[in-house]
Amino acid sequence: MFTGLIEATGRVERLERSATGMKIVVATELAGDLSLGESLAVNGVCLTVVAHDERTAAADISPETARVTTLDELSEGAAVNLERSLKVGARMGGHFVLGHVDGIATVDAVVQEGESYRVTFACPPSLRPYLAPKGSVAVDGVSLTIAALVDRGFEVQIVPFTWMHTTFARYRPGTAVNLECDILGKYAVGAMEALAAARISTVERFDSKPGSHDA
């Protein structure tokens, strides 16, 4: 589990592709403090550290993960957001982020407003029920507050610190990003859908009984 507070940005040093998936090697200042088997969020995707030294860390990417995230589109030299897993007892500064990507969104617009930036994202329609004004969302692993919902997706406001210390400054219209909706929203929508389905099932069973419509 993560918080969405990016610890560092890293640089993709090497990508090794094979029939069984990919291996990513990232140069990062965090490498020397990592442990084998530790979780590391790379652009919001929870990966397992399989090798590291003082300068780089490596992780395997399964074909399914490559298919449903933007990691398959990375190239050598690309910048990535990095966060180690949350320690028990640590301050919770962002929101609960699992590193399980729900879908891929794209940047619609980047507009500077004073020293901050307003970024608009288009997201899959299937994810809209999980988004709420002033709710939380993780974009490439960055914990953000939804400033507003728009026709195709949502907007966020990026403060100067976040702009400088994440990959946001590299975003342009059309840039693809990993999107993880707030887990609380997903559970709430799931519970409501289950309740609605149970009610429909109850009505259908009642309607199917002989004489259920008799006066």
User: Which CATH number goes with the domain that contains 68?
Assistant: 2.40.30.20
In a domain, 62, yes or no: yes
Per-residue pLDDT of the chain (215 residues; tens, 9 = 90+): 899 999 999 999 999 998 888 999 999 999 999 999 999 999 999 999 999 999 999 999 999 999 999 999 999 999 999 999 998 888 888 899 999 999 999 999 999 999 999 999 999 999 999 999 999 999 999 999 999 999 999 999 999 999 999 999 999 999 999 999 998 888 888 888 888 888 776 656 656 656 555 54
Whether residues 67 and 21 share a domain: the answer is yes
Whether residues 108 and 179 share a domain: the answer is yes
In a domain, 208, yes or no: no
In a domain, 177, yes or no: yes
Whether residues 108 and 52 share a domain: the answer is no
Q: What is the largest CA-CA distance in the chain?
A: 80
Whether residues 122 and 166 share a domain: the answer is yes
Task: Look at the block and give the residue holding tokens 């914990």.
Answer: 143
Whether residues 25 and 73 share a domain: the answer is yes
In 3D space, the residue among 26, 23, 20 whose CA is nearest the CA of residue 43 turns out to be 26
Q: How many domains does the chain have?
A: 2
> E strand or H helix at 194, and its extent?
helix 183-208
